[in-house]
Amino acid sequence: MGTRRPPPDAWRYAYWLAATLAQKGATIVSGGAFGIDAAAHEGALSVNGRTVAVLPNPLSRLTPAGNSALFRRILAARHGGLVGFLERDQKPRYHERNAAIAALSEHVVVVCAPLESGARNTAAEARRFHRPLWIVPGAPWEPTSQGSLEDLLSTSQPLISPEPLLQSLGLDTKDVGSPSAVLWARPWRDAPHDPNPAPPPRRPVTSSPPTASPPVAPSSALPFSGARTAGTVLPPPDEKRLLDALREAPKTIDQLVLRTGLPVEAVRVVLLTWTVEGVTREGPFGVFRLSSS
């Protein structure tokens, strides 16, 4: 468990920790969210281990939608599963989801949690269910670690390596590698990120007159044919960034959002339009590629 917006090192550590535990036979249970949750699921999948994502909605409406490719990979895995709520209400039930994670788990691990976060709520539920709680210490000057450090005061189990947790689970502790040993499968730049970062601070409104917008090139000026979304969903320069990202290699929507920094909904709409027009095609597990490649 942990923040949706972790530093790269925290994401890599969660990935390595989950991969190590899953390789030894542990089942990785997390919430399917961006950031640390996704890193844990990815780590387990990288070694063909067992992983379960507990979602805050019914399975008919996966949350977050930007991780749908990850959820499909979990379901396609031999030892993967999704857990959701039966009620078909519209509001995600995050607190109930966190309680379910704590109830399903033998041990709860928090890798990177701010002062106010769902991971700290899960930690509180772990204490309520009398589950052993492990906290990965972080730098005190990092906002994403301050909640973890505060929770560390209430538990005697800091976690700096997998061995103590493996011993508590009765699993083999031999040949546990370093954090750099399992990072070949999913580099940080390809990790799914939360496409909705915290909004910037508000700026005072000024009375300066609006500046004229630069002219937008027509869609025919784009270096490919058939796309007619310019000026309606994304301006031509942004569409070109999306196209260049696909020219590098086939990618999922998550990877395209991370590579380009564009809004996830806009990327989804443009890819749908391009697929209908034959510019792109969608392969297994939500991987998009140019039709000409």
Please calculate the CA angle 282-286-287 and round it to the nearest 5 degrees: 65
What does the alpha-carbon distance between residue 132 and residue 52 come to, in Å, rounded to a whole number?
19
pLDDT higher than threshold 70 for residue 190: no
Q: How far is CA 23 from CA 20, 132, 181, 220, 224, in A?
A: 5, 21, 13, 52, 45
Q: Which two tokens stand for residue 138?
A: 């972080």
- Over range 125-141, report the average pLDDT: 89
Are 69 and 46 spatial neighbours (Cβ–Cβ below 8 Å)?
Answer: no
Are 115 and 6 spatial neighbours (Cβ–Cβ below 8 Å)?
Answer: no
The one-letter amino acid at 110 = V
Which has more confidence, 265 or 52?
52
Q: Which pLDDT band, with edges at 50, 70 and 90, does 18 fall under?
A: very high
pLDDT, one tens digit per residue, over 85-115 is 877 666 788 999 999 999 999 999 999 888 8
What does the alpha-carbon distance between residue 191 and residue 33 come to, in Å, rounded to a whole number?
12
Task: Give the pLDDT score at 140.
Answer: 80
Closest CA to 98 of 32, 168, 25, 166: 32
What does the alpha-carbon distance between residue 37 and residue 21 come to, in Å, rounded to a whole number?
15
Task: Give the pLDDT score at 45.
Answer: 93
Q: How far is CA 100 from CA 73, 129, 152, 264, 283, in A?
A: 22, 10, 22, 28, 34
- Over range 184-196, report the average pLDDT: 50
One CATH from 3.40.50.450, 3.40.630.10, 3.40.1190.20, 1.20.120.450 for 8-184: 3.40.50.450
pLDDT higher than threshold 50 for residue 155: yes
Structural domain spans, the chain: 8-184, 221-290
Measured in residues, the chain has a length of 293
Task: Give the pLDDT score at 220.
Answer: 38
CATH architecture of the region 221-290: Orthogonal Bundle (1.10)
**E strand or H helix that includes residue 288:** strand 288-290
